[in-house]
Chain A
């Protein structure tokens, strides 16, 4: 452990200018190095845009903690030269005292000082942009977090406080690292275009930045975002989601009405005031500007007849390209059924029916009959299966 080393941990929020920051950090690595700083990134040699510590963390929002470090993460980070910067907005999903303290404790074992950097957006704007991420795994996680609504803003649910109650979440970090080590900025949407977040971040590191690369935030379009929100209630895997997201338009934006946004934001107003009171972030009483004029008066996040038909036509096109299982895949499925017979013959019986259906249109795939699976079991298991089958009133042997 080197108590002289400092770790700058950038914890997001998502879509709060993270991409420009990370691009600038990547581009300005020589500059960082000349100031005794190293950007810690993935296991690969070159950091990939937007995924700086990606391969070191596991993410599963259905678990607690939702973010976990893989073996060797803390050790590898500590071995980087000089002071270290880690940037990963998924740290924003950490919300319990236990999980945050765990990370802080492990970091502190290697670093003398831990500085936490957080950029915040007003909760309605944060949610709108967070939910509008594209079909990447980050978009998938956001869909999981906000749940099954295809509107721009979900209905308020106390569960959302885990992320959006900034006072609660950042206070846990502050209690663990000390208020003096918290660097919190509120992004004001009225001024966001003029605010140079990258320079701001570099100042926090104690240096002037070089030339910044332009920001290109990958937001999904209205249809892509609406469909994307529905994946949280479907059994769709991440890979399939990413594949599907490509078919939708990425132009128009999904926006709530002013009234809906104000109502959503109102749940966090008081908490924002407390946060600003503690950390003295800016002069706004409630931390953010409370102007909603950028949002439309009527909601632009609901299906119109045309939008819904178009989205369904695109989905139909994607489904048309969905292929049947190959001969090898069905053969593997059948081999697995033989293994299921070892422990649960009733389940295996049902799977056998499914296998016959899957093999129906495939040449050269023969589905063995039930008896041939059972005959592969030990004598005792065979006896057991036959006994239980008779009890159930079924025939012992297939014809």
Chain B
């Protein structure tokens, strides 16, 4: 009996977390219909979010992208029937050698392989991706795209490797065959009911009735900008978590309309070439050319008020020892006031200890 393997390779920031969660919620239903979900992480753990972590690992120099575990194909093949896997980190694979090897390993077990990829207009993708990078310097986007405290990263070799869809998907087409690649456009008007999960369900020919509505928590203006600066200092997670508790999380980092258009223009030709080969969209460069969602001027630079607020937030954090949260200060003040009446010496020592 022939076996099929469906692989969703991203891109990042195109609803993959929601798709993984929906697949996971519906895994038994899918299994009954002959489609097994591969969700196990490389350490054997079920993360209960449908994200099969650890199967791709970045090369020491991020410019080489990521490598695919040599055990992955065999592991996938242990599942019965057709198998589906959704892992956006395959978008970090830039090496034709890696892809050819992986294809060869999968071919030993599967007769048909379908690669599904969702593409988002490069400026929108990078605004979202770069914001995500502000959360941790060890993350691949921070390492590959840099830590500029702006809405969009500088155009660099790393940015081009990810955002030149024609070149990147060309590698997959070379390894797996162009006819095996399904490219979907991550834009409301292109998605079924404007929804990534419903669209994906229709592509794989199954229903995914439960949409858990998973959403990645995004960073606001100050948290994202300070997050990039923390990345520059290679901040430890414990310190980052402590400071994030104090940093304002409203607003959003956005480039100006002009900046976004200039960023996108770098990839327009490549998009046209991709469209010519894969006939993805009736628009020549695949995506809508509407940039009205951006402000006229940049909204990713410090204003007097926001810089004051960010520094005020950091001063507040600096006032307390680590592991203190903003609300703890009030509690501490109440404690000192209470002790002043009964144990004044202890109240004084405590106030001194906590710098009150």
List A residues at the B interface (Cβ < 8 Å): 148-151, 226-227, 230-231, 233-237, 239-240, 244, 302-305, 308-309, 311-313, 315-320, 322-325, 329, 332-333, 335-337, 339-340, 342-344, 347, 350-351, 354, 357-358, 360-361
Contact = CB atoms under 8 A, between A and B. Distances in A.
A282 B323 CA distance: 59
Contacts of A227: 311, 315
Given A234-B315, A240-B355, A322-B322, A313 B232 contact: yes
A302 B302 CA distance: 10
A305 B148 CA distance: 12
Nearest to A342: B342
Given A324-B322, A332-B353, A354-B331, A315 B314 contact: yes
Contact of B339 (A240, A320, A323, A336): A336
Contact of A313 (B229, B320, B341, B350): B229
Given A227-B311, A316-B229, A324-B323, A234 B316 contact: yes
Contacts of B328: 354
A339 B343 contact: yes
A234 B312 contact: yes
B356 A235 contact: yes
B338 interface: yes
21 contacts: A150-B311, A235-B319, A235-B320, A236-B315, A240-B319, A303-B307, A311-B311, A312-B229, A312-B307, A313-B233, A316-B229, A316-B230, A322-B322, A324-B322, A325-B323, A343-B338, A344-B338, A347-B331, A347-B334, A347-B335, A357-B323
Interface of B: 149, 226, 229-230, 232-233, 235-236, 239, 243, 301-304, 307-308, 310-312, 314-323, 328-329, 331, 334-335, 338-339, 341-343, 346, 349-350, 353, 355-356
A340 B341 CA distance: 10
A319 B308 contact: no
Contact of A325 (B307, B312, B314, B321): B321
Contacts of A303: 302-304, 307-308
A355 to B, nearest CB: 11
B323 A230 contact: no
Contacts, number: 142
A316 B350 CA distance: 26
B319 A312 contact: no
Contacts of A311: 307, 311
B312 A230 contact: yes
9 closest cross-chain pairs (CB), A and B: A237-B355, A234-B315, A308-B307, A303-B307, A308-B302, A315-B314, A235-B319, A236-B319, A324-B322
B11 to A, nearest CB: 29
A309 B307 CA distance: 9
Contacts of A357: 323
Contacts of B315: 227, 230-231, 234, 236, 244, 315
B319 A230 contact: no
Given A312-B229, A339-B342, 15 more contacts: A149-B308, A150-B311, A234-B312, A234-B318, A313-B229, A313-B232, A316-B226, A317-B233, A319-B243, A319-B318, A323-B321, A325-B323, A336-B343, A339-B343, A357-B323
A237 B356 contact: yes
Contacts of B331: 347, 350-351, 354
A149 B309 CA distance: 11
A319 B302 CA distance: 21
A230 B301 CA distance: 20
Given A320-B235, A336-B335, A236 B318 contact: yes
Contacts of A318: 318
Contacts of A335: 346
B342 A343 contact: yes
Contacts of A339: 339, 342-343, 346
Contacts of A324: 321-323
B229 A309 contact: yes
Nearest to A360: B323
Interface centre among A149, A335, A354 (most CB of B within 10 A): A354
B98 to A, nearest CB: 37
A319 B317 contact: yes
B335 A340 contact: yes
